[in-house]
Amino acid sequence: MIRELDLHFHQRYVLNPGDSRFAVHLQWFAAEDEGRTEEPTEHKIRKAREEGKVAKSSEFTSAIVLLFPIIAIGLLSPYMLRTMEEMITYYLNLSTEIDVSTDAQLVMAFFHYFLRMFAPPALIAFTAALLANILQVGFLFSTKPITPDFNKIMPNFSRFLKKAFFSGEALFNFWKSIMKVVIIGIIAYVNIRMEITTIIRFVNAPFQYSFVQIAGIAFRIMIEAALALLFLSLPDYLFQKRQHRESLKMTKQEVKEERKTMEGDPLVRSRMRERMRDLLNQNMLRNVPEADVVVTNPTHFAVGLEWKQERMNAPTVIAKGQDNLAQRIKEIARENEVPIMENKPLARALYAEVEIGDEIPEKYYEVMAIIISEVYKIKGQERVS
């Protein structure tokens, strides 16, 4: 009984999210959905990008944000120390002159010195974060990732735990965390081991000397750790790119539905093509009375040609048809007293090779000259009679 209830819940709230307002948002588990075997289409990738779903490594961003401000602090350290010394001197001088609990000048001075010391590295950190994201995904702005979505507040906890602790992604993140701790530990150990004799002498060394040496060791450890994390972020980016691709994979039915949406229903397209053919045929049939001659097969093909020597280089096809349409062309030609000439090879060739509105190829000039001369003879005899 419990198994049946669990199966019912799984089918209703997980497999058929549209059935309930408490549907599970499949974005949580898209990479592991069963049946998603088809590569994502360009439309799916473009739509995901517009919604802010892109392949991005947070490790790369963190490494860049760590590296650039550290370099900035190293370069600006003399300026920051002078500012700090100036701030301490300023407050010590004011401590004997004013009431520190009521004077607002102290607060303004604090923010003044605070901005002078920390604004440059903070601005560099912000620029580094922006640069890291642009390098990974290009220029992209979307509010969709931060838009509230109440479908996400009720996940399937069994699948969530499986993805968080027992999936390939969880295993990769676990080893990635272990590697970061090991690498940073090795870097710190090696640097401290190299300077251990200098550190031992700090007991008898002046404070300024000890401070400068400790700052140098710490700075070197942070720079090397940031570079190591930057190197470690490269496989993470490749993994995230692969995971992102997997999350966008589609079922065969989704591919069919998207193709139907993009290209239209095949039945509707077929009907539109038929309607378009009908319109073209109607326009074409209006041109038949203007023809100088209709060349026929005589039962399967009919081609109407117009020849106006003053404005044409060669006879031009103004109508053509096969089977029923050919019979209709011949009927209109008879009704409008347009000469009908039988020439099976020519009718078949013109129907296959020449589009409506095009002049006939030069290789048919000779046979067309014979047909047109016969047409002129017929029209001349009709005038005489």
Q: What is the pTM of this model?
A: 0.50
Strands 340-342 and 301-306: unpaired
* Selection from 300, 312, 308, 305 nearest residue 340 by Cα: 305
pLDDT of residue 156: 60
Neighbours of 126 (CB within 10 A): 12
Query: Which of 327, 271, 256, 269 shows the shortest CA–CA distance to 294?
Result: 327
| pLDDT for residue 17 | 43
> Which domains are present in the chain?
289-384 (3.40.1690.10)
Q: In angstroms, rounded to a whole number, what is the distance separating the alpha carbons of residues 214 and 202?
A: 9
Are the CB atoms for 246 and 29 separated by under 8 Å? no
**Model pLDDT, residue 385:** 43
Q: 358: which DSSP letter? A: P
- Alpha-carbon gap, residue 24 to 229, rounded angstroms: 35
From the list 290, 319, 285, 284, the residue with the least C-alpha distance to 307 is: 290
pLDDT of residue 32: 46
pLDDT for the residue numbered 16: 45
Q: How far apart are CA 124 and CA 67, in angstroms?
A: 10
Reading the chain (385 residues) residue by residue, the pLDDT tens digits are 434 434 443 444 444 444 444 343 434 444 444 567 777 777 777 777 777 677 778 888 888 988 899 998 888 888 888 888 888 888 888 777 766 555 667 778 888 888 888 888 889 999 988 888 888 877 776 666 666 655 555 556 666 566 656 667 778 888 888 988 999 999 999 999 998 888 888 888 888 888 888 888 998 999 999 999 888 888 888 888 888 787 777 777 777 777 776 666 666 667 776 776 666 667 777 888 888 888 988 778 888 888 888 878 888 888 888 888 888 888 888 888 888 888 888 888 888 888 888 888 888 888 888 888 888 887 765 543 4
Residue showing tokens 């490494």: 63
Measure Cα distances from 306 to 166, 292, 312, 363, 368 in Å.
Answer: 78, 5, 9, 17, 11
Give backbone dihedrals phi and psi of 54, rounded to 5 degrees, phi first.
Answer: -135, 160
DSSP state of 359: B
- What pLDDT is stored for residue 190 in this prediction? 92
Plot region of 99 (φ>0 → left; ψ -120 to 50 → alpha; else → beta): beta
